[in-house]
């Protein structure tokens, strides 16, 4: 058995973003839970307070709310939030294997049990360093890491296909929501041109919004039999819980606070909506379809109107300042049906991604616990060896 501190060191190299000479900034918002790979990042010019430096091959671990399972291996140098711990693998440890260990259920459980703080639970290096695990020799680590890395690569490919399909949907809907479906003459209104039969309708006459509730304590990154209910935050589903407070046929949900405030989602069935989001507690105009308006608002992009004092924020008052183009109910239904068709095509790739993610979780568990051994197999480890 080896302690976590035998496998890596925690690097604390703080700097001023303005003088860091870094080109990449990583915040918690840039790390997707349960993945190995960083697919997006910010710019150092976007942040001001002290940050931590990291190098290629380091592991970036989110210490805030560790149940969200945020940990990736750095593909280059940069700076990151101080809510991210920087782990540097020791020479005798494969970095990608170490990342797999960090994503294991056992490590997450240890991290969850060592947090302090009610509203912002954080773990620490001192607490994590005491975690112990039966670690194989480096050649077997590299083979385990290679298997996990290959599956992660395939998952990333599906994520790119999902992103491309979503952009195709947005392009098609921009055209439809500007010109309609019936080649009508355009008319000029206070919010711009729109098909002649469409009506500009103030948001205040469509719905009443309210904030959600504090997130449940038992949040899980994946749906399970005992935690099946989606928890929606500022950017859609953020996890799953055993609790719910809203049972709805269809409810409009809008991100309220954070980088993705203004993001629009539809909630169906039993869900929990956190106080990082707004939802329509009352629908005031029965002639306007919820699914049509959600599609329109997604293209309209409320995020561009966010208030920047402190955290980015979208409020009901801000939304009520806007007026939206509303077609007749039949055309709304036609547009919503097109949206549904496009969403179904996207969901094909999303389902593939979920199946691969489930496979990854199974492999991770079996490989890390040595229920599956790969030490005698001929496995190409070149990808993970270069990252160590």
Judge contact between 30 and 81, C-beta under 8 A.
no
User: What is the CA 228 to chain-centroid distance, rounded?
Assistant: 18
Short-list 73, 69, 75, CA closest to 148:
73
Dump pLDDT digits (tens) for 74-118.
999 999 999 999 999 999 999 999 999 999 999 999 999 999 998
Token representation of residue 253: 């949900």
Element (H, E) at 23: none
Short-list 78, 80, 75, CA closest to 61:
80
Short-list 18, 72, 89, 3, CA closest to 50:
18
Q: Please give the torsion angle defined by the CA atoms of residues 47, 49, 54 and 60, in that order, rounded to the nearest 10 degrees.
A: -80
**Helices and strands (DSSP H and E) totals, the chain:** 9, 20
**3-class DSSP state of 357:** helix
The architecture of the domain spanning 199-326 is Alpha-Beta Complex (3.90)
Q: Phi-psi region for residue 103, left (φ > 0), alpha (ψ -120 to 50) or beta?
A: alpha
Q: Please, what is the end-to-end C-alpha distance for the chain in angstroms?
A: 21
Cα atoms in the 13 Å half-sphere on the side-chain side of 37:
14
Dump pLDDT digits (tens) for 202-235.
999 999 999 999 999 898 888 889 999 999 998 8
CATH of 2-133, one of 3.40.50.720, 3.50.50.60, 3.90.220.20, 1.10.10.10: 3.90.220.20
Instruction: Tell me the domain boundaries of the chain.
Output: 2-133, 199-326
Judge contact between 59 and 98, C-beta under 8 A.
yes
The Cα 359–Cα 363 span in angstroms is 6
Triad 55, 57, 63: Cα angle to 5° = 80
Residues in the chain: 388
Short-list 257, 253, 298, 294, CA closest to 272:
253
Residue 383: how many CB atoms within 10 A of its CB? 14
User: What is the CA 385 to chain-centroid distance, rounded?
Assistant: 28
Short-list 149, 156, 122, 165, CA closest to 38:
156
Along the 388 residues of the chain, how does pLDDT read in single tens digits?
A: 999 999 999 999 999 999 999 999 999 999 999 999 898 999 998 898 999 999 999 999 999 999 999 999 999 999 999 999 999 999 999 999 999 999 999 999 999 999 999 888 999 999 999 999 999 999 999 999 999 999 999 998 988 899 899 899 889 999 999 999 999 999 999 999 999 999 999 999 999 999 999 999 898 888 889 999 999 998 889 999 999 999 999 999 999 988 889 999 999 999 999 999 999 999 999 999 999 999 999 999 999 999 877 788 999 999 999 999 999 999 999 999 999 999 898 989 888 988 998 899 999 999 999 999 998 999 999 988 855 4
**3-class DSSP state of 233:** strand
Residue 13 phi/psi, 5-degree rounding, is -115, 85
Beta bridge partners of 239: 231
The Cα 164–Cα 172 span in angstroms is 13
* Same-fold call for 2-133 versus 199-326: yes
pLDDT of residue 295: 93
Triad 364, 365, 369: Cα angle to 5° = 115
Token representation of residue 79: 């700076």
């Amino acid at each position: 058995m080896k302690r976590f501190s035998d496998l890596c060191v925690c690097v604390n190299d703080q700097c001023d973003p303005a003088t860091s000479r870094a080109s990449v900034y990583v915040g918690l918002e840039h790390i997707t839970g349960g993945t190995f790979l960083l697919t997006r990042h910010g710019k150092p010019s976007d942040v001001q307070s002290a940050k931590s430096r990291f190098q290629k091959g380091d592991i970036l671990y989110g210490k805030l709310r560790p149940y969200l399972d945020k940990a990736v291996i750095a593909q280059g140098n940069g700076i990151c939030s101080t809510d991210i711990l920087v782990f540097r693998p020791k020479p005798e440890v494969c970095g990608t294997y170490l990342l797999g260990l960090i994503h294991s259920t056992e490590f997450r459980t240890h991290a969850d049990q060592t947090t302090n703080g009610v509203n912002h639970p954080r773990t620490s290096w001192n607490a994590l360093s005491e975690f112990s695990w039966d670690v194989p020799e480096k050649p077997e680590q590299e083979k385990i890491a290679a298997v996990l890395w290959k599956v992660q690569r395939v998952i990333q490919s599906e994520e790119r296909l999902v992103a491309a399909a979503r952009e195709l949907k947005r392009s098609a809907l921009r055209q439809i929501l500007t010109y309609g479906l019936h080649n009508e003459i355009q008319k000029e209104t206070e919010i711009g041109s729109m098909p002649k039969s469409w009506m500009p309708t103030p948001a205040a006459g469509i719905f009443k919004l309210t904030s959600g509730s504090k997130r449940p304590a038992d949040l899980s990154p994946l749906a399970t039999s005992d935690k099946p209910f989606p928890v929606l935050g500022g950017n859609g589903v953020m996890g799953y819980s055993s609790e719910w407070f809203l049972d709805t046929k269809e409810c409009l949900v809008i991100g309220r606070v954070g980088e993705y405030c203004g993001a629009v989602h539809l909630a169906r069935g039993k869900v929990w909506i956190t106080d990082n989001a707004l939802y329509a507690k009352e629908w005031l105009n029965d002639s306007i379809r919820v699914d049509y308006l959600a599609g329109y608002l997604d293209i309209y992009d409320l995020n561009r109107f966010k208030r920047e004092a402190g955290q980015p924020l979208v409020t009901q008052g801000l939304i009520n300042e806007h007026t939206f183009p509303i077609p007749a109910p039949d055309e709304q239904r036609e547009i919503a049906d097109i949206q549904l068709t496009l969403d179904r095509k996207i969901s094909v790739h999303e389902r593939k991604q979920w199946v691969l993610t489930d496979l990854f979780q199974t492999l991770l568990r079996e490989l890390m616990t040595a229920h599956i051994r790969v030490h005698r197999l001929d496995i190409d480890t070149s990808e993970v060896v270069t990252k160590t």
